Chain A
Amino acid sequence: MDENEAFEYVKSTLKKEKITPYHSDELEIVKSIGACINCGLCINHCPVVASVGLDRFSGPRSIAVELSRSPPEFWATADKVYLCTGCGTCREVCPKNVNIPEIVNIVRANIFEHRPDLVPKGLMIVKEIIEEHNLAFEPWEDKEEKEESRDMRLERLGIPYIPDVVKENAEVLFYPGCQAEERAQEVREAAKAILDYFDVDYTLLDEFSCCSLPSHLMGDAKTARNLAHQLKGKVKKLGVKKVVTTCAGCTSNLADLSVRDEWGAPAYHLLEYLVEEIGFEKLADALKKVAKPNDVHVSVHDPCHLIRHTSRQVMEHALNILRLMPGVRVTESVEHDNCCGGGGMVSFHASEVANSVVQENMMALEKTGAERLVTPCPLCTAQIENNLFKSGSSIEVDDLTVFIAQRLPKKE
């Protein structure tokens, strides 16, 4: 056997023994898991354990000390690992910051490769959509209908429509993310309105494509790498200096990709961009100009991908911006930073789990007396909105980007 045949042979043996060699960029994560001392603090804080119990979801510590120890047996974790919403609460409370959310993705990737039959069907459907459209959601069939829907939303919300701009060498690439691109179009448009208002030199992608997070989360490592590669090409071609997004998941994922794939352009959430680049002074000036603001009592939901995967400071920015708004009163709910259940692709195959996670948030929200919930993530918005609607609550939910755009004056 020559060396190439030998390698092929060895690879087939590894496949038979269900061994997927760790990539070198995964070794740091694997090492982090080795720090677990099995204390179980994470169990006391895991929102999924709180919602469905330890028997159904054995909790983060079991992922560290039990389920992630032996790759040939990763297939046998399929009844547990897909229930993790990837909220990162475990990692945040863990004295050792054991990187559970990422090891979950590695385990899922192994199952995806060796036992696709054990991957929840709901995820496989998403996988097909992504493969076909480079998007996490089925796109609109009729472009005109999509525009009509957009215009109706903008009219209802009172947000001006700014035509799309695509150009090279702009300062900022605005990346709306799949949800805002296809579903919550008002978020995409609101962001454009905000950027336009502050005269930011920005561009959109010529052709939008998914940031790869959904593929990464379901374990489709190959597609995830392809999508990341595609996006890098687009960012490089445009020659932007910064990437700004309105989606929490995209924020943390793009931040990773821009470092890993050496984009040369850091990625931020729009909130960070507003506070750090536009500044409170300009923001305050603009927000105060609104002639007769409606008084509104709001509460806030902190998206996991912002607070626990990026930085808690991002929500400080959000609160500080809200405080600048005349007529806006904020009451924080005790569960403001509890996962909404919408993460980790759980809602795509076990919606009952995702929906039971959000119940705590909803109960706490009702107690605040707020009439509106704002959150800087279109996915959290959708998850909470749907569940509030189902429960017959009168509380409305807005993406924070939309909420800000609504409270900006008309551009002079």
Chain B
Amino acid sequence: MTDSKFDVVVIGGGSTGTAVARDCAMRGLRTLLLERDDIASATVGTCAGMISSGLKYRDEPDIMKMCSTEVVYWNHIARHIVMKNPILAPLLDLSDAASDSSYMESYSEHVEERDVPAMMFLTPDATLEIEPMLHPEIIASVYYEEYFIDPFRLCLLQALDARNHGAEIRTYCEVIDFEINDKQEIEGVIFYNRVFGTTERVTTKLVVNAAGPWAHKVAKSAKEELHIRLNKGAHVIFDRRIVNTGITVKAMDGRWVYLFPHENTTLLGTTALDTWEDPDTLVASFDEIEYLLQSMETVLPSIREARIIRTMTGVRPLVPDFKVPERNVTRGYRIVDHGENDGTKGLLSFLGGKLVTCRHMAEAVTDLVCEKLGKDIACTTHEKPLPGNEDDVDIIALSKEYDISLHALERMRARRGTEMLKVLEMTKEHPEWKTTICTCEPIIEAEIRLSIREEFPQTLNDLRRRLRLGTGPCQGTFCTYKAASILSEELGLAGDDFLVDILDFRAERWKGIRQSMRGEQLAQEELAQGMYACVGNLDQSDVDYDLKPWEEGH
């Protein structure tokens, strides 16, 4: 057991946890972030990345205001990973609009600060010119704009920025217990290191529980009861941008579902099902996929002809408002100070919240932490840019200088902003690292090596979150073995571990591919089986492969 002292330990490497670690570190607190898996490996890693205007929550004007303000901050501190999506809400009959007219006003209240127009109506002809795939009988559409952020890079950049400010970031470390003294004060945190199989302990008086859908389990380790409402949401992912703008439509149950271009794919989401399952085991069901497709089909009849590459599933950790539908649960957040209610002192737990407000949540909890520590330090997370946001990048000039394709560089820029220069620098000594490894994204070898060296991935799946490795049409069919070799070289792994890495990543991709298997995915899978089973003979491999949570019971 190691023993080190921290002012605060943050549990959870999602959007909230990494934002808290960043804020704490920037205010000079000795900060440790513990994540049981990888950064952005759960809820935030399965969202659409919308940093929403809060349109869906117009009954909560404060939240809408907060969302709007936060969007402005994101555009200031992380513009290199932010993009804007124009969105159409096509109307097939008047009732689509009439039942819900207040949203136009609510949305329009804060548009100026976000630099977007007020909502407006478009004629059917105009709508069809913008999106010819829409149903020819639409009577009008409502147009508005929202901002989106790369949720993986956001979390990682927050974590890296926290580290740059002195925080320690430990992934694959699962909190298993707390040390609590007679006065019911936290004295230490005990966690299990899943990479080395060791148990470690650290000293701290303050713990921020940002474990999302596991928040109640973390609280339970401190013998605290935390009520939470877990709600499953699934997305269907298409191989490319299949629509020119985002499309939103009312689903059969009256909820809104959306089709958003996202990076170089399109996301169709979401469902909302209350769940009590282990979030790790969840996959999208046939019904969820049909619910989404059939809802979108009402305005976009050809949606089924597009190539579905996979599904993804996450769990929303909502505040425990029950007896209302998911959409009526507040998207505000709560900070539960367990010590306030005769519970464990020093344990602060998050409930609820949204991606767009994660910085705000962090500011609030860090204020509280500082207060408890008797420190008065101002928050600067909304002012100081995240790494890479410093300047514009001249892709055309860099392409000439380094002889790397424009598109590879443009994609790299979308992940790293000015930090991409570090990658390019590596290619001076190793020109062979300009080689494309993931052909869909694309990603060059130098960026994979840099990420392994500086962004603490342990698996190919972690590299996927950092680089979008294996997220394209072929779903890693062709980059899995190449990237596994590089990971193996960089981490000095044994041959068997190299094969395990391949099997792990195939399993992780398959988790999402399998549920929506149809059309060209049948051919894609025949090819993947042909490579890894038929030629590679990995189906017969006798390496120590641990079943994944969603594979157990097989």
Contact = CB atoms under 8 A, between A and B. Distances in A.
Contacts of A6: 120-122, 126, 143
Interface string A49-80: 00000010010011011111111110011111
A21 B86 contact: no
Given A14-B130, A37-B473, A66-B472, A78 B527 contact: no
A309 to B, nearest CB: 24
Interface string A269-310: 000000000000000000000000000000000000000000
B259 to A, nearest CB: 15
Contact of B241 (A11, A24, A70, A80): A70
Interface in A1-39: 1, 3, 6-7, 9-11, 13-14, 17, 19, 21-24, 27, 30-31, 33-39
B520 A96 contact: yes
B245 A19 contact: yes
B440 A73 contact: no
B123 interface: yes
Nearest to B261: A70
Contact of B126 (A7, A39, A66): A7
B130 A21 contact: yes
A243 B473 CA distance: 41
Contacts of B524: 37-38
A9 B132 contact: no
B240 interface: yes
B523 interface: yes
B433 interface: no
A34 B264 CA distance: 13
Contacts of A31: 305-306
Contact of A65 (B122, B143, B440, B527): B440
Contacts of B411: 73
B145 interface: yes
Contact of B410 (A62, A64, A76): A76
A398 to B, nearest CB: 40
Given A31-B306, A37-B527, A39-B527, A80 B407 contact: yes
A40 interface: yes
B436 interface: yes
B513 to A, nearest CB: 12
A10 B130 contact: yes
Contact of B406 (A13, A55, A77): A77
Contacts of A73: 264, 407, 410-411
B478 A40 contact: yes
Contacts of B263: 70
B145 A38 contact: no
A70 B478 contact: no
A34 B520 contact: yes
Contact of B474 (A17, A22, A37): A37
Interface in B462-510: 472-474, 477-478
Contact of A78 (B241, B265, B406, B523): B406
B529 interface: no
A33 B244 CA distance: 16
Contact of A70 (B240, B395, B409): B240
Nearest to A21: B244
B442 interface: yes
A38 B439 contact: yes
| Residue of A38, A79, A95 with most chain B CB atoms under a 10 A cut-off | A38
B401 to A, nearest CB: 13
Contacts of A22: 132, 244
Contacts of A38: 439-440, 472-474, 477-478, 524
Contacts of A39: 527
Nearest to A19: B244
Contacts of B410: 73, 76
A80 B406 CA distance: 9
Given A58-B405, A76-B406, A77-B406, A21 B120 contact: no
B146 to A, nearest CB: 12
A31 B245 CA distance: 17
Nearest to A67: B407
B129 interface: yes
B472 A79 contact: no
Contact of B407 (A30, A64, A76): A76
Contacts of B442: 62, 66
Contacts of B305: 31
Contact of B121 (A3, A19, A72): A3
A10 B122 contact: yes
A64 B126 CA distance: 29
A36 B405 contact: no
Nearest to A25: B132
Contacts of B241: 69-72
B399 interface: yes
Nearest to B120: A6
A96 B407 CA distance: 25
A31 B395 CA distance: 30
A17 B435 CA distance: 30
Given A40-B478, A69-B240, A35 B86 contact: no
Interface string A165-194: 000000000000000000000000000000
Contacts of B440: 38, 65-66, 69
A62 B86 contact: no
A35 B524 CA distance: 9
Contacts of A80: 405-407
A382 to B, nearest CB: 31
Given A38-B474, A38-B477, A58-B436, A24 B307 contact: no
Contacts of B133: 27
Nearest to B265: A69
A225 B224 CA distance: 70
A80 B442 CA distance: 14
Nearest to B305: A31
A76 B395 contact: yes
A73 B411 CA distance: 9
B240 A7 contact: no
A31 B306 CA distance: 7
A256 B83 CA distance: 38
A71 B130 contact: no
A358 to B, nearest CB: 25
Interface in B336-377: none
A352 to B, nearest CB: 17
Contacts of B473: 34, 36-38, 64-65, 69
B527 to A, nearest CB: 5
B117 interface: yes
B264 A69 contact: yes
A217 B360 CA distance: 51
A77 B477 CA distance: 23
Interface string B390-432: 0000010001000101110111000000000000000000000
A348 B148 CA distance: 41
Interface in A371-404: none
Contacts of B185: none
Contacts of B244: 14, 19, 21-22, 71
B416 to A, nearest CB: 15
B239 interface: yes
Nearest to A81: B407
Nearest to B263: A70
A17 B307 contact: no
B132 A27 contact: yes
B84 interface: yes
Given A37-B473, A66-B440, A3 B122 contact: yes
A188 B439 CA distance: 46
Interface in B276-312: 302, 305-307
Given A13-B117, A19-B244, A72-B83, 9 more contacts: A3-B121, A6-B121, A34-B307, A38-B473, A38-B524, A65-B473, A65-B474, A66-B441, A76-B406
15 contacts: A6-B120, A10-B143, A21-B244, A34-B239, A34-B240, A37-B474, A37-B524, A58-B405, A62-B439, A64-B473, A66-B442, A69-B241, A69-B265, A79-B399, A96-B523
* Closest A-B pairs by Cβ, 4 of them: A38-B474, A34-B307, A69-B240, A76-B410
